[in-house]
Structure 1
Amino acid sequence: MKALITGIAGFIGFHTAARLSKAGWTVAGVDNLNDYYDPGLKRARLAALGDAVSFHELDIAAAVAFAKLIDDEQPDVIIHLAAQAGVRYSIENPFAYARSNLLGHLSVLEACRHAKNFSHLIYASSSSVYGGNKKTPFSETDPVDAPVSLYAATKKSDELMSATYAHLYGVQQIGLRFFTVYGPWGRPDMAYWTFTDKMLRGDPIPVFNHGRMRRDFTYIDDVVDCIAAIADKPPSFAGEDRPHRIYNIGNHTPVPLLDMIGALENATGRKAQMDMKDMQPGDVCETYADVDRLAADYGFNPATPIDKGLKQFVDWYRAYFNV
């Protein structure tokens, strides 16, 4: 079996490529290596993959070039993880989200529509689509028509485009709403990374909404277990009018922000100096995943508690930066 992964130099893309190649898949990947965060980290991830994958540096929003790549590679499964990430950055640079998340996703859908010997598309959505939803845990059947950030709006738009392509052209698709994925080789814009960096330097950390927040932190290994299982076998769409399904991927255990900071204090051996701040625009107080659908279809059982996962991250961070 052959998979093509977009965003292969990104956090989740890198781990997915490593897992599939280890399982015997042929893996090709594409990434534009943009400078949203240090491209050196992205290149280091590619170097860690080595010859296990074939890499193409390409912007997926370049539809003609991306379609040619799919025609050349002829993958069985496309795993679309490339996106402009980050809620807060979407306020500063909205057009980056329109190109990467909207045009990029449409480019992938068009390539899938015309692909030969193609099975199914797996694509990244986000828990951000739930916006300020007060009902918890968040279920895939909840309304998601009130986003509180442009990033969330683009991800909701991606889901709608995918549903349309499933209806019009029969493109089999699975959208994954990720809940705060963390772990080794993670993203430097995420709170657990910036907190670790500042705590090890002895600098204060910004704690928004005065710490009154909870997140469903989901360890990378649990996430990749799901992606690999869905890559091996898409769900049955028998009796459905369109072959498109959405799954939450979360730990089903929201962690208070102050507890996460406490786990980092234990992992780093440093006491956090907390700079309490008001809530930032576009942020939400809580995320909490209902994962019953994923458990029923794929036996999903997230197994990594926050203290263990953050210890793994801090150990990696110390080794990577020689701290």
Structure 2
Amino acid sequence: MKIDANVARADIKVGTSPYGAHDELGALNALAATSQAKVLERASSSKVYDLSVDYFVGMPSFQGAGDPSYQIFMSHTPDGTVVDNLNGAGEHVNRHVCYSGDVVFMYTHTGTHIDSLNHFGVDGQIYNGFSAKDHLGSRNWTKAGVDVIPPIIARTVLLDIAKLKGVECLEDSYAITVADIEEELERTGLAIEEGNAVFVRTGRMAYWPDGTKTMGNPPGLSLDAARWLTAQGISVIGADQECVEVGPSQHEDNWLPGHGHFLTESGVPMIELLNLEELSADGVSEFCLIAAPIRLKGATGAPIRPLALKLN
């Protein structure tokens, strides 16, 4: 990745939580029970939108960064169980009872997933000043892992920038501006409120699962746009591409400044590789989000299955 040495520095700093020195939730603290109850009261059950992708061998992922591809294989099969008798039930029972089991191996940031606050940091520290020296063991972080993320229930605003621009998909490396966001909110007549989640559609999921079109040089949020969004008090950010922000970086001192701002400075978790195509096709720009990641202790991310319900 080539970064223009003449562009401005991002100057990402480690944010301090207003909720105290032990806080690991950051912006998720804004998901108060009262606001969650309010959005659930408005949710329509007429249609449920599944915003996740399926997992399969050969799916687009981050092998280019040295991470393993998604793999699944059988650890138990009906015929194999008869032969190896690992369960000790004997041939007669094992021929009668069909037993299957499988094993999954993957990078935790594969497919539709959420980044926890320990995913990115600055100078050895993550959000709220937790340090690698004091809080990173031999296997995982002891702070701000994906396991502490609660079930997310939030009013969510879709910023459909591809639709705003009248294109199927934004061009590679298009940097979404504050003006784009303001124009999109004017188009939909919506406002972003404190505690809301915000999802950004670039159109890249129209090409899924073609990795040559869905991964690399993504259109996404500029750092100015990211900072504008967190200033609105959002609880979660998400997009239909692999890193939410524009790539490659527009800043000489940080290769993923959007990650640094959302995760390290602002304590806002990020959901990536969302499938927002059906929402866009149906013209849904405001909805109730219900999502929860797998609780992998201390992990920097995990698969997540977000569901969307239109609001009445």
More helix per residue: 1 or 2?
Answer: 1
Query: TM-score, normalization: structure 1?
Result: 0.28
- CA radius of gyration, larger in: 2
Query: TM-score, normalization: structure 2?
Result: 0.29
Say which structure, 1 or 2, has more relative contact order (CA 8 Å, 6+ apart).
Answer: 2
